[in-house]
């Protein structure tokens, strides 16, 4: 997720663009840049830098910032590290056409190859630069047409703004899958990723649809589909405050991040699944595929929520790739003097890529000769830089301290990575295709599960004052039980414990009273009957059973007071769907208890100290 903003009008563009970037900074903040069309000399002045908007502002001091047409960008890296070269805007070979982009171009590698074979020289590792060269390929004095023609060849998600030095009266914008809004002023337009960069200037906006583009001139605007069919747009009024816009109208970032999981898991898979070839394309590990294929042991290491993802990963790696796999807390691993040999692959899972214990575990593993992989969200973070190879989550910045969408994306990456290895070891193409099909259905299934929100709110209201909770699951769902309990602890300050369901009878069963909510992950699957017996044990002692269960399972109503139904999916996919109701449950309990959901007491988003 990045932020883009563009301006065309009579005013000076620079202050408007800069202010807009600051408003959009919450969308991403690892590098920033600006392109201004300067009246003097008719050239584009492009300035970009690694770092936050303030770094760009410093760099602009003393420079000529004149111009009434410009585009700007705040980046959250997906392709290529956050550095000056990869910062947007990107320009074509002539330096006269500039593009800013939010999204992921899926077929960028093929397009880049084609453009390079025709002589284009790339200066960055980004997917976006492809757009600049591609549009330039079609440019014959009409910016609108070259963007429209170029986009015919592009697959993926984009919100873009494009300018050309030769056309001082044109700003072109287009969207597909990434948000883009046009602010309509008097003789001026502002285009931005969301209304926060616009509302200071005008409440009048036009929302572009997918595969739609707009050509803005100072005296008017034209919209069309990217297949050049004209469209008619209504001007609408924005009524949200700035804070509401950043949170997309949700009261908390955490809720926003829970609700955006259908999109974030789709972004994680984007361009990586190839059902025809029964293959996943993971650019970050393809160069070491052979080494991975011959791995003898995998150690997954992480902290907190990422460690829970690792526990699911153990099942996936052993199940799909048949590699002996262990999971260890990074804080323990680093001091245990672990035995590591050449065939050991250590996989570090971390949203931030900066967690001190995970980083130290990775360094220790490398020192001892392991091949170290990273499964990381923040591109260019320390873990991402120091590992030998890795797979990014691409799920956008996670701002709420309690990790939600990063967890589901970690699960998706672990499935893809296990499959990547599995295909090279023993997994048959047909099995791989089934998994790909399963993955492709996940975003819509998550969307369906989010429909439980109101029911979950009622459950939360019924139990919000209970001081102790238990979460129980088996197999793939044991880590989900841990994660559900952690979410509740983190944000509502209620004591909760997650356990393998069968362990309950070895001690925790003594805790069960009528005041004890017990959340069961009870999907149909290998251990379903056994989970039902555990449920019976809780019920007979008066515990309040809340069950996450498979749609259509009416039997379970006999045992559970509340049933949260999720779709019937194969076991490896169950954690992704099951965790969503538990995230919502923790969220609502915390809200009802008046807790600071996004910034829980004593917790930090990224723990960079021991």
C-alpha angle 451-453-459 in degrees, rounded to nearest 5: 135
Contact status: 403 vs ligand G6P (CB under 6 A): yes
SS3 sequence of 81-118: CCCCCCCCCEECCCCCEEEEEEEEECCHHHHHHHHHHC
- How many degrees, rounded to 5, is the angle at CA 494 between CA 493 and CA 496? 125
Among 305, 382, 417, 550, binds ligand G6P (CB under 6 A): 305
State the nearest-atom distance from the C-beta of 351 to ligand G6P, in Å: 3
Nearer to ligand G6P, 86 or 358 (CB): 358
Structure tokens at 369: 């000769």
Report the nearest approach of ligand G6P to the CB of residue 227 (Å): 42
State the residue number with the nearest CB to ligand G6P.
304
CA distances from residue 29 to 73, 74, 257 in whole angstroms, order as listed = 10, 6, 17
Q: Which is nearer to ligand G6P, 468 or 606 (CB)?
A: 606
Nearer Cβ to ligand G6P, position 303 or 564?
Answer: 303
Q: Which stretch binds ligand G6P (CB under 6 A): 84-92, 396-404, 448-456, 517-525?
A: 396-404
d(CA 280, CA 413): 10
Q: Smallest Cα–Cα separation from 210: which of 139, 145, 280, 263?
A: 263
Q: Is 198 left (phi over 0), alpha (psi -120 to 50) or beta?
A: alpha
Measured from the Cβ of residue 145, the count of other Cβ atoms closer than 10 Å reads 16
Tokens describing residue 97: 């056409």
The position carrying tokens 């190859």 is: 113
Instruction: Tell me whether residue 55 or residue 607 sits nearer to ligand G6P (CB atom).
Output: 607
Instruction: Quote the CA–CA distance of 33 and 369 in Å, as a whole number.
Output: 40
| C-alpha torsion sign, points 456, 462, 465, 469 | negative
Among 86, 128, 264, 350, binds ligand G6P (CB under 6 A): 350
Site stretch for ligand G6P (CB under 6 A), options 72-80, 563-571, 575-583, 601-609: 601-609
Which of these segments, 103-111, 227-235, 318-326, 599-607, binds ligand G6P (CB under 6 A)?
Answer: 599-607
List the one residue from 304, 396, 475, 572 that touches ligand G6P (CB under 6 A).
Answer: 304
- Collapsed DSSP state (helix, strand, coil) of residue 289: helix
Residue 358 touching ligand G6P (CB under 6 A):
yes
Is 471:482 a contact under the CB 8 Å cutoff? yes
Q: 502 near 548, Cβ under 8 Å?
A: no
Task: Say how far apart CA 418 and CA 315 lie, in whole Å.
Answer: 10
SS3 content of the chain, % helix, strand, coil (to 5): 40, 25, 35
Answer for which of 31, 351, 544, 583 binds ligand G6P (CB under 6 A) is 351
Residue closer to ligand G6P by CB (options 172, 402) is 402
Cβ nearer to ligand G6P, comparing 128 with 381 = 381
Q: Does 607 bind ligand G6P (CB under 6 A)?
A: yes
* 3-state SS record for 189-218: EEEECCHHHCCCCCCEEEECCCCEEEEEEC
* Whole-angstrom distance, CA of residue 346 vs CA of residue 313: 12
Residue 610 C-beta: closest distance to ligand G6P, Å: 12
Give the count of residues interacting with ligand G6P (CB under 6 A). 15
Note whether 606 binds ligand G6P by CB under 6 A: yes
Point out the residues that are catalytic: 2, 605
Instruction: By CB under 6 A, tell whether 404 contacts ligand G6P.
Output: no
Q: Which stretch binds ligand G6P (CB under 6 A): 4-12, 73-81, 183-191, 348-356?
A: 348-356
Options 187, 506, 603, 608; binder of ligand G6P; rule CB under 6 A: 603
Q: Which pair of tokens denotes residue 266?
A: 């789709």
Identify whether 89 is preceded by a cis peptide bond (ω within 30 of 0).
yes
- 352 scored as a contact of ligand G6P (CB under 6 A): yes
Options 355, 409, 445, 534; binder of ligand G6P; rule CB under 6 A: 355
Shortest separation between residue 303's beta carbon and ligand G6P, angstroms = 4
**Choice between 171 and 330, CB closer to ligand G6P:** 330
* Under rule CB under 6 A, residue 401 binds ligand G6P: yes
Question: Site map for ligand G6P, 521-560, x if CB under 6 A?
Answer: ----------------------------------------
Give min distance, CB of 446 to ligand G6P, in A. 20
User: Using CB under 6 A as the criterion, which residues of the chain lie in contact with ligand G6P when the complex forms?
Assistant: 303-306, 350-352, 355, 358, 401-403, 603, 606-607
């Amino acid at each position: 997720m990045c932020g883009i903003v563009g301006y065309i009008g009579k005013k000076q563009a620079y202050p408007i663009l800069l202010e807009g970037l600051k408003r959009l900074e919450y969308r991403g903040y690892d590098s920033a840049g600006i392109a201004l069309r300067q009246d003097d000399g008719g050239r584009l002045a492009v300035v970009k830098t690694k770092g936050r908007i303030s770094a760009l502002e410093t760099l602009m001091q003393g420079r000529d910032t004149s111009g009434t047409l410009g585009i700007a960008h705040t980046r959250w890296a997906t392709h290529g590290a956050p550095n000056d070269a990869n910062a947007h805007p990107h320009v074509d070979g002539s330096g006269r056409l500039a593009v800013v982009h939010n999204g992921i171009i899926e077929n960028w590698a093929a397009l880049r190859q084609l453009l390079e074979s025709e002589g284009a020289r790339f200066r960055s590792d980004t997917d976006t630069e492809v757009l600049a060269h591609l549009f330039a390929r079609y440019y014959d004095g009409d910016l609108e047409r070259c963007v429209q023609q170029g986009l015919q060849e592009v697959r993926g998600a984009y919100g873009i703004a494009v300018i050309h030095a030769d056309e001082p009266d044109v700003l072109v914008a287009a969207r597909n899958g990434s948000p883009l809004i046009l602010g309509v002023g008097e003789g001026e337009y502002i285009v931005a990723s969301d209304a926060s960069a616009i509302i200071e200037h005008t409440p009048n906006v036009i929302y572009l649809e997918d595969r739609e583009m707009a050509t803005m001139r100072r005296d008017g605007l034209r919209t069309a589909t990217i297949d050049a069919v004209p469209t008619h747009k209504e001007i609408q009024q924005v009524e949200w405050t700035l804070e509401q816009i950043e949170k997309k109208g949700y009261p908390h970032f955490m809720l926003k991040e829970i609700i955006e999981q259908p999109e974030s898991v789709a972004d994680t898979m984007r361009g990586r699944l190839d059902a025809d070839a029964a293959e996943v394309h993971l650019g970050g590990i393809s160069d070491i595929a052979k080494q991975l294929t011959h791995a003898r042991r995998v150690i997954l290491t992480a902290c907190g929520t990422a460690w829970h993802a690792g526990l699911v990963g153990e099942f996936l790696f052993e199940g799909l790739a048949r590699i002996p796999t262990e999971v260890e807390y990074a804080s323990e691993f680093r001091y245990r003097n672990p035995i590591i040999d050449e065939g050991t692959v250590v996989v570090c899972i971390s949203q931030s890529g900066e967690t001190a214990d995970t980083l130290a575990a990775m360094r220790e593993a490398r020192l001892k000769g392991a091949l170290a992989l990273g499964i990381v969200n923040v591109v260019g973070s320390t873990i991402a830089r120091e590992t030998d190879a890795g797979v990014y989550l691409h799920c956008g910045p996670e701002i709420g301290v309690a990790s939600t969408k990063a967890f589901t994306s970690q699960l998706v990456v672990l499935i893809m990575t296990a499959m990547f290895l599995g295909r090279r070891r023993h997994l048959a193409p047909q099995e791989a295709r089934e998994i790909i099909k399963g993955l492709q259905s996940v975003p819509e299934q998550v969307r369906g599960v989010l429909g439980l929100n109101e029911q979950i709110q009622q459950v939360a209201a019924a139990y919000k004052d209970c001081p102790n909770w238990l979460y129980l699951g088996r197999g793939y769902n044991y880590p989900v039980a841990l994660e559900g309990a952690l979410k509740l602890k983190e944000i509502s300050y209620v004591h909760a414990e997650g356990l393998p369901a069968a362990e309950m009878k070895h001690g925790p069963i003594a805790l069960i009273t009528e005041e004890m909510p017990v959340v069961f992950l009870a999907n149909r699957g290998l251990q379903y009957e056994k989970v039902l017996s555990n449920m019976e044990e809780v019920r007979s002692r008066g515990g309040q059973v809340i069950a996450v269960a498979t749609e259509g399972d009416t039997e379970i109503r006999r045992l559970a007071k509340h049933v949260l139904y999720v779709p019937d999916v194969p076991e490896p996919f169950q954690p992704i769907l099951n965790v969503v109701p538990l995230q919502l449950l923790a969220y609502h309990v915390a809200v009802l208890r008046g807790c600071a959901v996004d910034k829980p007491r004593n917790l930090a988003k990224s723990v960079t100290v021991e």
